[in-house]
Amino acid sequence: MKFKSTVDISIGDTLFTKQGDSLIPVLKVKDLSTISCVCIPISARSLVVSDRVFHIKSKVQIIPPIPIEPEDNIAIIQDSIRPIQDTLKIEPAKKVRRTQDIYGFASVAAFSDFSNTPAGNSLKMKYTLSFNMANIGHSKLSAESYLTFVHRGNNWNDIQANIFNGLKIYNLSFSYQFNNHFELWLGRKINPKISNMGAVDGIQFEMKLKPFTIGILGGSRPNYPDYGFNFNLLQFGAYVSHEHATKNGYLQTTLAFVQQMNSGLVDRRFAYLQHANSIVRNLTFFGSVEVDFFNKKFNPEDSTINKDNSPKLSNLYLSLRYRLLKKASFTFSYSARKNVIYYETYKTFLEELLDTETLQGYRLQVNYRPVKKLSIGVSGAYRFQKKDPRPTKNLYTYITYSQIPAIKISPTISFIILETGYLSGRIYSAGISRDFFSGKFYTGLAYRYIDYRFNNSGFALVQNLAELSLTWRIIKKLSFSVYYEGTFEKINQYNRTYGRLNFRF
């Protein structure tokens, strides 16, 4: 509303209207310019066009009624009690600036093996580059990678013939986030929501409509002999995911359908279901199921292979973890899986693959911390197939204490019992580790005694194994590590060394 002048009016002042011989407060000044005010109502009284509104220069007692005195500052409401738009000091909405975040590591490593056997010596070099660049240049574009290059002195001809005999691209992709609901990936990437299908060389698109996420993907899968690119191995699919968080935890479920091809023919068609749940306090559940819908069956009577598109369970994994207070946790898992068969890729020896049985396994793990720095753990596993002469069983137990007072050494003792269809074994291990100079240096020493007995021949193999590791943190983001492992038998001696220079950025 407009005045001749607002020189005597301040933000927070009260404006009044006339009722008989009294002044009734009706508006409060929120903002003002030289000739107008923006006000908010403070009374239930309704104002109409041409109502007069007064401002009192000095403080006014509202009650009892006050006689009206002559006043120059009289305002007439023009056409509405709503604020006049051109008097508002509106600040433009601030544009959210995306934060660029780049991190990763690069490393050079050397592996060497040498012994007193005819096997000879070998040297292998490995170069690794991994990075994650989020919001490049504060934009919606991001990139990530995990690349390795491995070579030996005698395989350069193989690498020159096919670069992927040395170069392995596990992840190399770009993403563009249109907004909080839509995101696009291009390149080689393993989708964490359907990681069991492996990497996708192509395009992936995801739409988030909370609490649901819908995604589609299309492209090819890596070449099976060398993990290179093979655009004859087309694959495509879709998935839907549901996520929900509660005060106790979260739950997440993903259902996916995927078809994989080889030179235009169906190689595999399957559905994948994954569920993770921690809504029950101290209890975490994870489960995944794979069901194949494209199958073939071998008929031994006429040695023919016929199609069988009935659903068949190819992979089942269930895991349950319970944390008892803060000192103990229990983990139980069950798995039942068959060999994944790509019918066109492996058609030359399909008959052998079709005869495989389901491999089932159970695993139980218990961890306990009776005091702050003492940890005790026991885990056991049991796996079997019907054709095995006997099940595979192993038992592992350990005890470790972190940083004994005064000497700051962390000792660990462990024991393993192993039984398979062809051998029985015992492994006894003891080791110590320690930090020096506030973490600048780390060193570890370990000794293992290995005793194997082969069931069919009765042959015994006894090995004494020594390990030494050193890590030097040169500067905050640069470190150098060396490792030595020596295996000593009655006659033979095997040595392995490993060195790595790692730079984080």
Predicted confidence (pLDDT) per residue in 24-34, tens digit: 677 777 666 65
What residues contact 363, with CB distance under 8 A and at least 6 apart? Answer: 331, 332, 333, 334, 335, 379, 380, 381, 382
Provide mean pLDDT across the span 433-452: 94
Give the pLDDT of residue 214: 97
Give the pLDDT of residue 66: 41
Stronger pLDDT, 16 or 262, i.e. the higher one? 262
Angstrom distance (rounded) from CA 204 to CA 270: 18
In this structure, the number of other CB atoms found within 10 A of the CB of residue 126 comes to: 17
Q: Which of 356, 375, 408 is the last residue of a domain?
A: 356
Residue with the two structure tokens 């082969």: 454
Strands 312-324 and 478-488: unpaired
pLDDT grade for 154, boundaries at 50, 70 and 90: confident
Give the pLDDT of residue 310: 85
Residue 248 counted as domain residue: yes
Stronger pLDDT, 103 or 93, i.e. the higher one? 103
Residue 296 counted as domain residue: yes
Give the pLDDT of residue 119: 80
Looking at the structure, do residues 197 and 323 belong to the same domain, yes or no? yes
Residue 99 counted as domain residue: no
User: DSSP code of 387?
Assistant: T
**In whole numbers, what is the pLDDT of the chain averaged over residues?**
85
**Cβ burial, residue 55 (10 Å; 0-12/13-18/19+):** buried
Looking at the structure, do residues 204 and 341 belong to the same domain, yes or no? yes
Looking at the structure, do residues 198 and 322 belong to the same domain, yes or no? yes
Residue 416 counted as domain residue: no
Q: Where are the alpha helices (DSSP H) in 219-357?
A: 350-354
Looking at the structure, do residues 71 and 190 belong to the same domain, yes or no? no
Looking at the structure, do residues 70 and 214 belong to the same domain, yes or no? no
Q: What is the full DSSP assignment across 75-88? A: EE--S-SSPPGGG-
Give the pLDDT of residue 74: 40
Residue 300 has pLDDT above 90, yes or no: no
Residue 205 has pLDDT above 90, yes or no: yes
Question: In what order do the strands lie in the sheet containing 14-19?
Answer: 37-41, 22-32, 14-19, 52-55, 74-76
pLDDT grade for 92, boundaries at 50, 70 and 90: low
Q: Copy the structure tokens of residue 366.
A: 């218990």
Give the pLDDT of residue 60: 40
pLDDT grade for 87, boundaries at 50, 70 and 90: very low
Give the pLDDT of residue 414: 97
Share of the chain above pLDDT 70, in %: 80
Residue 299 has pLDDT above 50, yes or no: yes
Residue 402 counted as domain residue: no
Give the pLDDT of residue 138: 93
Looking at the structure, do residues 82 and 185 belong to the same domain, yes or no? no
What residues contact 362, with CB distance under 8 A and at least 6 apart? Answer: 332, 333, 334, 381, 382, 383
Give the pLDDT of residue 425: 94
Share of the chain above pLDDT 90, in %: 62
Q: What is the maximum alpha-carbon separation in the chain?
A: 121
Per residue in 99-115, pLDDT (tens digit) is 999 999 999 999 999 99
Give the pLDDT of residue 257: 96
Q: Which of 340, 356, 372 is the last residue of a domain?
A: 356
What total of structural domains would you count in the chain?
A: 2
Looking at the structure, do residues 205 and 74 belong to the same domain, yes or no? no
Looking at the structure, do residues 185 and 317 belong to the same domain, yes or no? yes
The residue length of the chain stands at 505
Stronger pLDDT, 386 or 83, i.e. the higher one? 386
Give the pLDDT of residue 226: 95
Q: Which of 53, 69, 87 is the last residue of a domain?
A: 87
Residue 355 has pLDDT above 60, yes or no: no
Give the pLDDT of residue 64: 43
Residue 120 counted as domain residue: no
User: DSSP code of 158?
Assistant: H
3-state secondary structure of 293: coil
Looking at the structure, do residues 78 and 189 belong to the same domain, yes or no? no
Residue 20 has pLDDT above 70, yes or no: no
Per residue in 387-422, pLDDT (tens digit) is 888 899 999 999 999 999 999 999 999 999 999 988
Residue with the two structure tokens 């069983």: 393
Closest CA to 68 of 49, 55, 87: 55
Looking at the structure, do residues 83 and 208 belong to the same domain, yes or no? no
Looking at the structure, do residues 73 and 194 belong to the same domain, yes or no? no
Residue 148 has pLDDT above 90, yes or no: yes
Q: Letter for the amino acid at 169?
A: I
Angstrom distance (rounded) from CA 476 to CA 323: 35
Looking at the structure, do residues 72 and 201 belong to the same domain, yes or no? no
Residue 481 has pLDDT above 90, yes or no: yes
Q: Copy the structure tokens of residue 207.
A: 């739409």
**Structural domain boundaries, residue 39:** 14-87
Residue 342 counted as domain residue: yes
Residue 465 has pLDDT above 50, yes or no: yes
pLDDT grade for 499, boundaries at 50, 70 and 90: very high
Residue with the two structure tokens 């574009």: 141
Angstrom distance (rounded) from CA 100 to CA 137: 6
3-state secondary structure of 399: strand
Residue 47 has pLDDT above 70, yes or no: no
User: DSSP code of 390?
Assistant: S
Provide mean pLDDT across the span 91-104: 77
Residue 276 counted as domain residue: yes
Angstrom distance (rounded) from CA 258 to CA 260: 7
Angstrom distance (rounded) from CA 117 to CA 390: 33
Residue 40 has pLDDT above 50, yes or no: yes
Residue 452 has pLDDT above 70, yes or no: yes
